[in-house]
Structure 1
Amino acid sequence: MTISVTQSQQRRPAPAQAAPMLTREEDTRWAMLSHFGAVAGCIPALIIYLIFRDRGPFTAQESKEALNFTLPLTVVMLICYGLAFVPAIAAFAGLGGVLIWAYMAISGLIGGSECNKGRPYRYPLNLRLIR
Protein backbone atom coordinates (compact mmCIF):
# COMPACT_ATOMS: atom_id res chain seq x y z
CA MET A 1 0.00 0.00 0.00
CA THR A 2 1.47 3.37 -1.00
CA ILE A 3 0.35 6.81 -0.09
CA SER A 4 0.82 9.53 -2.62
CA VAL A 5 0.89 13.15 -1.63
CA THR A 6 0.01 15.70 -4.20
CA GLN A 7 1.73 19.03 -4.34
CA SER A 8 -1.37 20.85 -3.12
CA GLN A 9 -1.40 18.72 0.03
CA GLN A 10 2.17 19.53 1.01
CA ARG A 11 2.56 22.36 3.47
CA ARG A 12 5.13 24.91 2.54
CA PRO A 13 5.96 27.93 4.63
CA ALA A 14 4.93 31.22 3.14
CA PRO A 15 7.84 33.24 1.82
CA ALA A 16 9.01 35.96 4.16
CA GLN A 17 7.64 39.29 3.15
CA ALA A 18 9.66 42.44 3.43
CA ALA A 19 8.28 45.00 5.83
CA PRO A 20 6.48 47.80 4.02
CA MET A 21 8.23 51.11 3.56
CA LEU A 22 7.23 53.93 5.87
CA THR A 23 5.12 56.77 4.57
CA ARG A 24 6.67 60.22 4.66
CA GLU A 25 4.73 61.10 7.82
CA GLU A 26 5.73 57.86 9.56
CA ASP A 27 9.33 58.32 8.47
CA THR A 28 9.37 61.81 9.98
CA ARG A 29 7.64 60.62 13.17
CA TRP A 30 10.10 57.77 13.85
CA ALA A 31 13.06 60.04 13.10
CA MET A 32 11.69 62.58 15.57
CA LEU A 33 11.12 59.92 18.23
CA SER A 34 14.67 58.63 17.86
CA HIS A 35 15.96 62.07 18.87
CA PHE A 36 13.38 62.56 21.63
CA GLY A 37 14.48 59.20 23.04
CA ALA A 38 17.75 60.82 24.14
CA VAL A 39 15.93 61.65 27.37
CA ALA A 40 16.14 57.90 28.16
CA GLY A 41 19.68 57.34 26.85
CA CYS A 42 20.78 55.38 23.79
CA ILE A 43 18.28 52.49 23.94
CA PRO A 44 15.35 54.19 22.11
CA ALA A 45 17.56 55.29 19.20
CA LEU A 46 19.09 51.81 19.00
CA ILE A 47 15.70 50.10 18.89
CA ILE A 48 14.35 52.49 16.25
CA TYR A 49 17.52 52.11 14.17
CA LEU A 50 17.41 48.32 14.25
CA ILE A 51 13.70 48.09 13.42
CA PHE A 52 13.26 50.88 10.86
CA ARG A 53 16.65 51.37 9.17
CA ASP A 54 15.53 49.48 6.04
CA ARG A 55 12.04 50.94 5.95
CA GLY A 56 12.63 54.68 5.81
CA PRO A 57 15.69 56.65 4.67
CA PHE A 58 15.04 59.65 6.92
CA THR A 59 14.50 57.43 9.95
CA ALA A 60 17.67 55.47 9.16
CA GLN A 61 19.73 58.65 8.87
CA GLU A 62 18.33 60.37 11.95
CA SER A 63 18.22 57.33 14.24
CA LYS A 64 21.86 56.64 13.36
CA GLU A 65 22.72 60.26 14.15
CA ALA A 66 20.86 60.07 17.47
CA LEU A 67 22.50 56.73 18.32
CA ASN A 68 25.97 58.07 17.54
CA PHE A 69 25.27 61.02 19.82
CA THR A 70 23.68 59.19 22.75
CA LEU A 71 25.80 56.02 22.90
CA PRO A 72 29.08 57.54 24.15
CA LEU A 73 27.28 59.99 26.44
CA THR A 74 25.19 57.20 27.97
CA VAL A 75 28.34 55.19 28.69
CA VAL A 76 30.09 58.19 30.30
CA MET A 77 26.93 59.05 32.26
CA LEU A 78 26.69 55.50 33.64
CA ILE A 79 30.38 55.62 34.62
CA CYS A 80 29.73 58.90 36.46
CA TYR A 81 26.79 57.37 38.29
CA GLY A 82 28.95 54.38 39.23
CA LEU A 83 31.68 56.68 40.53
CA ALA A 84 29.07 58.52 42.60
CA PHE A 85 29.34 55.63 45.07
CA VAL A 86 32.99 56.51 45.78
CA PRO A 87 32.80 58.85 48.79
CA ALA A 88 35.72 61.10 47.84
CA ILE A 89 34.27 62.02 44.44
CA ALA A 90 30.57 61.28 44.90
CA ALA A 91 29.37 64.87 44.55
CA PHE A 92 31.43 65.61 41.43
CA ALA A 93 30.59 62.32 39.73
CA GLY A 94 26.89 62.61 40.51
CA LEU A 95 26.80 66.19 39.27
CA GLY A 96 28.70 65.16 36.14
CA GLY A 97 26.15 62.43 35.41
CA VAL A 98 23.25 64.84 35.84
CA LEU A 99 24.88 67.48 33.61
CA ILE A 100 25.59 64.91 30.88
CA TRP A 101 21.98 63.72 31.04
CA ALA A 102 20.69 67.31 30.84
CA TYR A 103 22.88 68.08 27.81
CA MET A 104 21.81 64.86 26.11
CA ALA A 105 18.11 65.48 26.83
CA ILE A 106 18.11 69.12 25.67
CA SER A 107 20.08 68.29 22.52
CA GLY A 108 17.71 65.41 21.77
CA LEU A 109 14.68 67.65 22.16
CA ILE A 110 16.22 70.19 19.77
CA GLY A 111 17.01 67.42 17.26
CA GLY A 112 13.51 65.97 17.53
CA SER A 113 11.88 69.34 16.93
CA GLU A 114 14.02 69.84 13.81
CA CYS A 115 13.06 66.39 12.52
CA ASN A 116 9.41 67.14 13.18
CA LYS A 117 9.77 69.98 10.67
CA GLY A 118 11.24 67.51 8.17
CA ARG A 119 14.78 68.83 8.45
CA PRO A 120 17.76 66.59 9.22
CA TYR A 121 19.67 67.43 12.39
CA ARG A 122 23.40 67.12 12.99
CA TYR A 123 24.64 67.27 16.57
CA PRO A 124 27.54 69.71 16.96
CA LEU A 125 29.65 67.26 19.01
CA ASN A 126 29.16 63.76 17.62
CA LEU A 127 31.65 60.89 17.28
CA ARG A 128 29.83 59.15 14.38
CA LEU A 129 30.82 55.66 15.54
CA ILE A 130 28.19 53.95 13.37
CA ARG A 131 28.53 54.76 9.69
Structure 2
Amino acid sequence: MSVPPESVVPPPPSEPIGGDIPAEERTWGMFAHLSALLGALLTASFWGLACFIGPLAIWLMKKESMPFASDQAKEALNFNITMAIGLAVLWVLSIITFGIGFIIAIPLLGIMWLAWLVLTIIAGMKANEGVRYRYPFALRLIK
Protein backbone atom coordinates (compact mmCIF):
# COMPACT_ATOMS: atom_id res chain seq x y z
CA MET A 1 0.00 0.00 0.00
CA SER A 2 1.54 3.31 -1.01
CA VAL A 3 0.79 6.74 0.31
CA PRO A 4 -0.28 9.31 -2.25
CA PRO A 5 2.20 12.22 -2.53
CA GLU A 6 -0.42 14.79 -1.51
CA SER A 7 -0.70 13.31 2.00
CA VAL A 8 3.00 13.45 2.73
CA VAL A 9 3.76 16.43 4.92
CA PRO A 10 7.10 18.04 4.15
CA PRO A 11 9.45 18.47 7.11
CA PRO A 12 9.46 21.93 8.67
CA PRO A 13 12.23 24.18 7.43
CA SER A 14 15.24 24.01 9.67
CA GLU A 15 15.78 27.10 11.73
CA PRO A 16 19.08 28.81 11.07
CA ILE A 17 21.60 28.88 13.87
CA GLY A 18 20.81 31.80 16.14
CA GLY A 19 17.19 32.09 15.03
CA ASP A 20 16.41 35.72 14.41
CA ILE A 21 19.36 37.09 16.40
CA PRO A 22 21.80 38.98 14.17
CA ALA A 23 25.36 37.68 13.94
CA GLU A 24 26.81 40.87 15.42
CA GLU A 25 24.61 40.56 18.49
CA ARG A 26 25.53 36.88 18.94
CA THR A 27 29.20 37.82 18.69
CA TRP A 28 28.83 40.48 21.39
CA GLY A 29 27.02 37.92 23.55
CA MET A 30 29.95 35.55 23.13
CA PHE A 31 32.41 38.35 23.95
CA ALA A 32 30.47 39.07 27.14
CA HIS A 33 31.17 35.57 28.43
CA LEU A 34 34.71 35.20 27.12
CA SER A 35 35.79 38.65 28.32
CA ALA A 36 35.55 37.24 31.85
CA LEU A 37 38.26 34.74 30.88
CA LEU A 38 40.44 37.50 29.50
CA GLY A 39 39.97 39.63 32.61
CA ALA A 40 40.84 36.70 34.87
CA LEU A 41 43.95 35.87 32.84
CA LEU A 42 45.17 39.46 32.85
CA THR A 43 44.79 39.74 36.62
CA ALA A 44 45.77 36.20 37.59
CA SER A 45 48.13 37.51 40.26
CA PHE A 46 45.14 39.20 41.93
CA TRP A 47 42.98 36.02 41.87
CA GLY A 48 41.42 37.09 38.57
CA LEU A 49 39.27 39.79 40.10
CA ALA A 50 38.95 41.70 36.81
CA CYS A 51 36.60 39.04 35.45
CA PHE A 52 33.76 41.53 36.10
CA ILE A 53 35.11 44.32 33.91
CA GLY A 54 34.44 42.80 30.47
CA PRO A 55 30.85 41.68 31.05
CA LEU A 56 30.06 44.93 32.86
CA ALA A 57 31.50 47.06 30.04
CA ILE A 58 29.62 45.11 27.37
CA TRP A 59 26.38 45.30 29.34
CA LEU A 60 26.73 49.06 29.81
CA MET A 61 27.61 49.63 26.14
CA LYS A 62 25.02 47.33 24.56
CA LYS A 63 22.06 47.36 26.96
CA GLU A 64 20.06 49.80 24.85
CA SER A 65 20.92 48.60 21.35
CA MET A 66 21.36 44.82 21.60
CA PRO A 67 18.95 42.94 23.90
CA PHE A 68 20.57 39.52 23.40
CA ALA A 69 24.09 40.80 24.10
CA SER A 70 22.79 42.72 27.12
CA ASP A 71 21.09 39.60 28.48
CA GLN A 72 24.21 37.50 28.07
CA ALA A 73 26.44 40.18 29.59
CA LYS A 74 24.16 40.35 32.64
CA GLU A 75 24.24 36.57 32.90
CA ALA A 76 28.05 36.52 32.72
CA LEU A 77 28.26 39.32 35.28
CA ASN A 78 25.88 37.55 37.68
CA PHE A 79 27.83 34.29 37.36
CA ASN A 80 31.16 35.97 38.02
CA ILE A 81 29.74 37.80 41.03
CA THR A 82 28.41 34.47 42.35
CA MET A 83 31.82 32.86 41.93
CA ALA A 84 33.50 35.81 43.69
CA ILE A 85 31.10 35.46 46.61
CA GLY A 86 31.97 31.75 46.81
CA LEU A 87 35.68 32.61 46.77
CA ALA A 88 35.19 35.18 49.54
CA VAL A 89 33.27 32.68 51.68
CA LEU A 90 36.07 30.13 51.33
CA TRP A 91 38.68 32.73 52.30
CA VAL A 92 36.69 33.85 55.33
CA LEU A 93 36.23 30.21 56.36
CA SER A 94 39.98 29.67 56.10
CA ILE A 95 40.83 32.79 58.07
CA ILE A 96 38.38 32.32 60.93
CA THR A 97 39.52 28.72 61.41
CA PHE A 98 43.17 29.86 61.59
CA GLY A 99 44.09 28.03 58.40
CA ILE A 100 42.37 24.73 59.11
CA GLY A 101 39.67 25.70 56.63
CA PHE A 102 42.29 25.58 53.86
CA ILE A 103 41.98 21.78 54.00
CA ILE A 104 38.46 22.24 52.63
CA ALA A 105 39.02 25.48 50.73
CA ILE A 106 41.89 24.43 48.47
CA PRO A 107 40.10 21.45 46.84
CA LEU A 108 36.89 23.49 46.57
CA LEU A 109 38.80 26.35 44.95
CA GLY A 110 40.12 23.91 42.34
CA ILE A 111 36.64 22.58 41.66
CA MET A 112 35.20 26.11 41.47
CA TRP A 113 37.94 27.24 39.08
CA LEU A 114 37.41 24.26 36.79
CA ALA A 115 33.62 24.71 36.82
CA TRP A 116 34.04 28.44 36.12
CA LEU A 117 36.36 27.76 33.19
CA VAL A 118 34.21 25.05 31.59
CA LEU A 119 30.88 26.86 32.10
CA THR A 120 32.28 30.14 30.77
CA ILE A 121 33.52 28.46 27.59
CA ILE A 122 30.21 26.62 27.13
CA ALA A 123 28.32 29.88 27.66
CA GLY A 124 30.44 31.65 25.05
CA MET A 125 29.82 28.89 22.51
CA LYS A 126 26.06 28.85 23.19
CA ALA A 127 25.83 32.64 22.93
CA ASN A 128 27.60 32.49 19.57
CA GLU A 129 24.93 30.01 18.43
CA GLY A 130 22.21 32.44 19.52
CA VAL A 131 21.12 30.44 22.56
CA ARG A 132 20.27 32.39 25.73
CA TYR A 133 22.56 30.50 28.08
CA ARG A 134 21.78 30.32 31.79
CA TYR A 135 24.49 29.20 34.18
CA PRO A 136 23.33 26.30 36.36
CA PHE A 137 24.11 28.11 39.60
CA ALA A 138 24.22 31.87 39.60
CA LEU A 139 22.59 34.48 41.76
CA ARG A 140 20.50 36.81 39.61
CA LEU A 141 21.64 40.04 41.24
CA ILE A 142 21.55 42.24 38.15
CA LYS A 143 18.21 42.08 36.39
* TM-score past 0.5 threshold: yes
Structure of larger gyration radius: 1
**What are the within-5 Å matches in structure 2 for residues 58-69 of structure 1?**
58-69=68-79
Give 5+ residue unaligned stretches, structure 1. 1-22
1:49 corresponds to 2:62 = no
Distance in 2 between the 1:82 and 1:59 partners?
34
C-alpha contact (below 8 Å) 2:33/2:76 kept by paired residues: yes
Gap change, CA 1:37 and 1:91, over 3 Å in 2 = farther
Distance in 1 between residues matched to 2:89 and 2:57, nearest whole Å: 22
Would you say how many aligned residue pairs link Structure 1 and Structure 2? 109
Distance between the aligned counterparts of 1:75 and 1:63, measured in 2?
Answer: 18
Distance 1:46 1:71, change over 3 A: same
> TM-score, structure 2 length as denominator?
0.64
1:83 Cα deviation (Å)? 5.2
Answer yes or no: is the 8 Å Cα contact 1:42–1:74 preserved in 2.
no
Residues 55-82 of structure 1 deviation map (CA, whole Å, 9 limit, x = unaligned): 2111111111111222121222244356
Give the aligned CA root-mean-square deviation in angstroms.
Answer: 2.3
Deviations 1:26-70 (A, max 9, x none): 321111011223432333212221222122111111111111222
Q: Is the 8 A contact 1:37 1:108 kept in 2?
A: no
- Alpha-carbon distance in structure 2 between the residues aligned to 1:100 and 1:116: 24
Paired residue type of 1:28 = R
Look up the equivalent residue of 1:96 and give its one-letter code: L
Structure 2: gaps (5+ residues): 1-20, 41-50
In structure 2, what residue type is equivalent to 1:76?
A: G
